[in-house]
Amino acid sequence: MIEAALYTGCRYAELGRLKREDYNHDSGTLSVRLSKGKDRHVFLTEEGKLAFRQWTADLDAGDRIFLRTDGKTWGASRQQRPLDEASARAGIEPAVNFHILRHTHASYLAMAGVPMAVIAKQLGHADTRMTEKHYAHLAPSYVAQTIRENFPVLGFSAFGRVAQFRGRAAS
């Protein structure tokens, strides 16, 4: 599930609910159902598609993609103890929580210059406000690039001559 979170930016509960039919090999997408009251499609990279193809290869329709080692479903907060133990073994303090994996996914996209609207759609945000609040600082060229791409050419340099502006003389 950790690998899937990094590939998708999905929430823990979203991944825990995924069934075989939620992965579409042809489109390379996951259907995340009823997340925060609405469905969305999560787009996978080639690496993500390969992983989900492997994870779903032997599953039947209706089977959950991710189950615990005991074959049970991942319930609320069942992920924290394994994350705490892994963090302790790795010397990470404070311990990693599952939501940080979602932030990592979005941060990589922002640092690659992906537009905030695209990141918001991938994460299932209703609009870009939350996305910009958390990730815009990771894309310092985002504002500059947007201004440069959208501000019109004024054409002042086309005239070749610039007249000196003279203000009023001081009295």
CB 24 within 8 A of CB 44: no
Burial class (CB in 10 A: 0-12, 13-18, 19+), 59: middle
* Residue 169 pLDDT > 90: no
Nearest by Cα to 64 from 49, 53, 74, 76: 74
pLDDT value for 75: 86
pLDDT value for 19: 96
Q: What is the pTM of this model?
A: 0.75
**Side chain identity at 147, as an amino acid letter?**
I
Q: Which ranges in 9-156 belong to alpha helices (H)? A: 12-17, 46-56, 80-90, 99-111, 116-123, 129-135, 140-150
- Token pair belonging to 10: 């999905």
Report which DSSP code applies to 19.
B
Q: Give the Cα separation of 123 and 166 in Å (integer).
A: 54
Pairing mode of beta strands 29-35, 38-43: antiparallel
Confidence of residue 154 (pLDDT cuts 50, 70, 90): confident
- pLDDT averaged over every residue in the chain: 87
Mean pLDDT of 139-158: 76
Nearest by Cα to 15 from 25, 4, 23: 4
**Neighbouring residues of 43: CB distance < 8 A, sequence distance ≥ 6:** 28, 29, 122
Identify the weakest region by mean pLDDT among 22-36, 87-101, 116-130, 147-161.
Answer: 147-161
